[in-house]
Amino acid sequence: MTTEEKMEEFKGANLYSNVHKIDLPEFYTSGHRTCQGCESALVMRDFIKAAGPRTVVTGATGCMYVANTSYMTTPWVVPWMHTQLGGGGSSAVGMAAGLRALMRKGKIPKENINVINFSGDLGGGDMGIGGVSMALQTDYNLLVIMYDNESAANTDIQATNMTPWGAQTTFSPTGTKERIMHKRWKKNVAAMLAVGHPNCKYVATACATFPPMDYMNKVKKALSIGGPTFIHTLDPCPKGWDYHPRYSGDLGQLAVKTGVFPLYEIVRGEVRYTYDAAAKKRVPVREYLEKQGRFSHFKEEDYDFFQQRVDEMWEEWEVPGIAPIRGALKLRK
């Protein structure tokens, strides 16, 4: 597909063509109890900017629930409601179903109202994955955004299944006997959901600020394509990853450029890399890892192991960075 064809494909989505064209009003506004430099706050700000004010939002329990809404105040300009930690997908289905029924029965005016849920990695990828899966099986227009800061950051940094191998959390502290306590490799949520849900036309991964506008345009595409959709964002977290808040953008970029976090979208089953870490020369993972206090206990062998797993993902997987299946083509021959 040429660039023109791709733009044509999402013509109704009003994609941003350059940063100066981004809408100026905010629908998630100043005055939230997020950390200095919080990337997830940008994930909030940008999805609602891309979606616009005719939107209803639920936020599952997690950092972006507790941080954002400190009672009697709110930074949300659009209607927003809390949902339970594992309630992300089902809350979106509930709202979408309610609105559709009320419109069909003439109880409220017919219009296109975006329905968006955001859940963290613990809510969306662990506890709530059943509900997200159910949501992606429906025919409602809805978007679930899993903002992934790679830990249960709201309870002061515990490991989830999205925590990268080796990272320190309070559930996986380094110790005198076990240097590496977290021995699970990060769960591949977006690709798993894309593969398993025939009704879902759009799944993407994103990093809020890199490449610029990429995330906002993915939100616009997800909302315009119709049906249930899913976006997984990687959110550098100065608190849990232990780095100076100034460098959130830097770390997001490095996660992508090292190939640690693959950036792609899967549109009606077609994979499109939005940053092709297989084709481009990848930055060594060490440059990303050593900038974070959570990996400050790493030794050479740990960096090597990490690099090897990332190389494998890009060089040996049948669908690089997405599907960890090897040798399918060989078998066919």
Partner 1 sequence: MTTEAVLKDVYESEELLTGTDAVAQAVRLADVDVFSAYPIRPYTGVMDRLAKFIADGKFDAEYIIADGEHSQFEIAKHASSVGARAFAGSSGTGWLYATEALAATATDRLPVLALVGNRALDDPGAFGVEHNDAMLVRDLGWLIVWASTAQEALDTTLIGYRVAEDPKVRMPCAVAMDGGYLTHSQHMVKIPTKEAVKRFLPPYDLGKRRLHPDNPISIAPQVNEDWGMEIRRQNWEAAKRAVGVIRKAYDEFESIFHAGYPNPFFEEFMTSDADTIIVGMGTVSAAAKTAVRQMRKKGDKVGYIKLRWFRPFPSEELRKALSRASHLGVIDRDFAHGGPDDAGVLFTDISSALYRAKSRPPVIDFIAGLAGREVSIEDVIAMFRKVEKAEEADVVNWVRVREKSNRGSQGNSSGGKSD
Partner 2 sequence: MTTVEAPLKNVDVDEEPIKRFEVNYRGIFQKTLAYRITKDLVYIAHSDGKTAFSNGRYSDDPQRNGVPCANFAFFSDGLSEEELEAIASAKMDIDRADIVAVLDDTMVKGLEPWGHYGIRPINEKVVPGGTLLVISRRPPEDLVQFLEKKPFTYNLAILPGEASFAGLWYYRDDNTDVRVLGAVARISPEIISLDKAIAYVRKTYKNDEKVKALEDAYNSTKLSVVSANDGIVWPHRKPVLPAWNEFDEGIVVKAAPREFKMGPRGLGRNLDYKRGTSKTQRPVVRFDICTKCTLCWYECPDECFDPTPDGLYDVNYEYCTGCGRCAEVCPVNECIVMVDELNFKNDDSPWESFKKDPQSYTKMIEEKKGKGRMMPSHVTGKGESMSEVSKPVPFKVERGN
- Binding residues vs partner 2 (CB under 8 A): 19-20, 22, 24-39, 41-42, 45, 53, 63, 66-67, 69-80, 153-157, 168, 209, 212, 238-240, 242-251, 290-294, 296-297
3-state secondary structure of 206: strand
Residue 53 beta carbon to partner 2: minimum distance, rounded to whole angstroms: 7
Asked whether the beta carbons of 205 and 276 are under 8 A apart, the reply is no
Helix (H) or strand (E) run with residue 233 in it: strand 228-234
100 in contact with partner 1 (CB under 8 A): yes
65 in contact with partner 1 (CB under 8 A): yes
Residue 138 interaction partner, one of partner 1, partner 2, none, beta carbon < 5-8 Å per kind:
partner 1
Give the nearer residue to partner 1 in terms of CB position, either 106 or 327.
106
Helix (H) or strand (E) run with residue 41 in it: helix 39-51
Give the nearer residue to partner 2 in terms of CB position, either 28 or 202.
28
Angstrom distance (rounded) from CA 226 to CA 201 = 8
3-state secondary structure of 229: strand
Which residues inside 182-241 make contact with partner 1, applying CB under 8 A?
none
3-state secondary structure of 274: strand
Helix (H) or strand (E) run with residue 88 in it: helix 88-104
Residue 139 beta carbon to partner 2: minimum distance, rounded to whole angstroms: 29
Asked whether the beta carbons of 96 and 142 are under 8 A apart, the reply is yes
Upstream peptide bond of 212 is cis (omega within 30 degrees of 0) = no
Which residues inside 70-99 make contact with partner 1, applying CB under 8 A?
70-74, 76-84, 86-87, 89-95, 97-99
* φ, ψ dihedrals at 258, nearest 5°: -80, -15
Residue 94 interaction partner, one of partner 2, partner 1, none, beta carbon < 5-8 Å per kind:
partner 1
Footprint on this chain of partner 1 (rule: CB under 8 A): 53-56, 58, 65-66, 68-74, 76-84, 86-87, 89-95, 97-102, 104-105, 107-108, 113, 130-131, 133-134, 138
